[in-house]
Amino acid sequence: MPFVSLNPATNELVCEYPYWDKAQLEVALAEVAVAAPRWASTPLSERCDHVRRLGQLVLQRRDQLAELITLEMGKLIGEARAEVEKCAVVCDYYADNGSAFLADELVESDAGRSFVAHQPLGTVLAVMPWNFPIWQVFRFLVPALVAGNTGVLKHASNVPQCALAIEAVVRDAGLPGGVFRSLMISSAQVAGVIEDKRIHAVTLTGSESAGRQVAAVAGACLKKTVLELGGADPFIVLEDADLDWAVQQGVASRFLNAGQSCIAAKRFIVLESVADEFIAKFKAAVETLKPGDPGDADISLAPMARIDLRDELHQQVQASLAKGAIAVTGCAPLEAPGAFYQASVLDGVWPGMSAWDEEFFGPVAAVIRVKNEFEAIEVANGSVFGLAGSVWTQDLERGERVARQVLAGAVFVNGMVKSDPRLPFGGIKNSGYGRELCRHGMLEFVNQKTIWIK
């Protein structure tokens, strides 16, 4: 089966690419293997300069890359442009800070001089998803390149043109040949690439099941992994929250990218004393979202990426309704071409429902009513996931206290959860392990070598 690019707004075929055979894969891996030691020995200042130029070219190609994102996975064109711009930001961030992040760390010991040096591991394989098809690649690639690693990409099968466009922009920015290649391979071929001795580490952003499979193969090969998996992020609304602000940010968080984000607000945990008011305001805001052609700047609700994903989401919604959840608004596919699903809200969500137990990767918000702050924390921590979460209150000391008790890789108080190059990003529990971005993410794929001299 080839890479198949479908327009999610119409379900029309855009293009197909055949999967590589063994010979084509070998050519790419051999090229990267030759490039890896040369790139590692390139002075850090030169690597930073290369990455800065990469960011400049990304900005020059912003509209072209954004249109590809919208065409292949259906993102609103404004969101797609913002995604591309963020890739340029991460280039500048690591170009500016790479030297400081990788500087030797002096350590007091019984030596005359001892320190920790940060050296590249080699080639990192990235297995990436379709929902942020440019950003998530740059999120791994830029710090890896600055650290002196090379990279290869196995992208999602529905965004082949994005995969090839990333390789093209890296090449055209003047980086040496072979420092990054997009591997046009199937999921079945990934295990063989992980096992290849020319691959030294693996990073994956994707589903929990995909993470388990990749981690099992990499673990058997004793290769370092970073996994960013699913999430069911709690959005905790306390009784003293600014409800208008919480509603505005909650709608933005839940329906960004048609709800197809790991760090989207998914479980709205609302204190009973303000639940009716919150839901009424939230419903009114949700019903203003306008579905349609994601290339139209006036549209505010994009299609989902594929029809099969939309159908899976609807099955989860139907299963929750069958167990007693209440449809506040939406809760059905749109009668239109493409993979559109109504912007939806469920109330009365309880344990045992899909909306409670599972990740909803689409435009559906699940509201869970709780009696007090303590129950809110208990419900938030009751999920198998632990990627991120948010707390909404006008008492900042209280917000920090609750945030410290939520079991997640990141908790925002009075703000929508987002990834930021300046902050480490990643989860715990079934949301994975390891960190991306910031200095913490860069150091995931370096050898932190102790050097002791006397």
For the annotated catalytic residues, the residue numbers are: 228, 262
Rounded-to-integer distance, Cα 298 and Cα 301, Å: 10
Enumerate helices (H) and strands (E) in the chain, giving the number of each: 15, 20
The label of the residue with tokens 């998914």 reads 266
- Dig out the tokens for 72 from the structure: 């292949």
What is d(CA 454, CA 450) in angstroms, rounded to the nearest whole number?
Answer: 13
Q: Which two three-digit tokens encode residue 340?
A: 């559109």
Calculated CA dihedral for residues 388, 390, 395, 401, nearest 10 degrees: -30
* Strands 344-347, 326-329: pairing kind: antiparallel
Q: State the Cα angle at 136 between 90 and 92, rounded to 5°.
A: 10
Q: Which residue has the tokens 């390891």?
A: 434
Find how far residue 145's CA is from the centre of its chain: 19
Task: Determine the Cα–Cα distance for residues 81 and 70; give it in Å rounded to an integer.
Answer: 9
Whole-number Cα distances in Å, 248 to 152, 245, 347: 39, 5, 18
Give the tokens for residue 262: 């790991």
d(CA 91, CA 311) in angstroms, rounded, equals: 37
Residue 435 structure tokens: 């960190």
